[in-house]
Amino acid sequence: MTDHLPHSPADALRTAADYLRRHGWHPGPGLYDPHHGCTHGGCRVVRSGMYPASVYGAIRAALLGRPRWFAITDPTTAEMYTAAVDHLTRHLRTRTVVDLHAAILPWERAAGRTRQQVMTVLLSAAGTAPATPAPVARLAPVIPLDARRPSSRPRRIA
pLDDT number for residue 106: 84
Please enumerate in sequence order all residues whose Cβ is within 8 A of that of 51, keeping only pairs 6 or more positions apart, or say none: 23, 24, 26, 32, 33, 34, 35, 45, 57, 67, 68
**Residue 126: exposure state from Cβ atoms within 10 A (0-12, 13-18, ≥19):** buried
pLDDT digits (tens, 9 = 90+) for 26-38: 887 767 766 666 6
Q: Read off the pTM.
A: 0.72
Q: What is the pLDDT of residues 39-82, one digit of tens each?
A: 655 566 655 567 788 898 889 888 887 665 666 777 778 888 88
**What are the residue boundaries of the structural domains of the chain, listed by start?**
9-128
Banded model confidence at residue 2, pLDDT cuts 50, 70, 90? very low
Percent of the chain past pLDDT 70, that is, above it, reads 61
Task: Give the number of other Cβ atoms within 10 Å of residue 148's Cβ.
Answer: 5
Question: pLDDT digit string (tens) for 84-131?
Answer: 999 999 888 887 655 556 678 888 888 899 999 999 999 999 999 888
Whether the bond between 52 and the residue before it is cis, its omega within 30 degrees of 0, is no
**Dihedral angle of Cα 144, 148, 154, 156, to the nearest 10 degrees:** 90
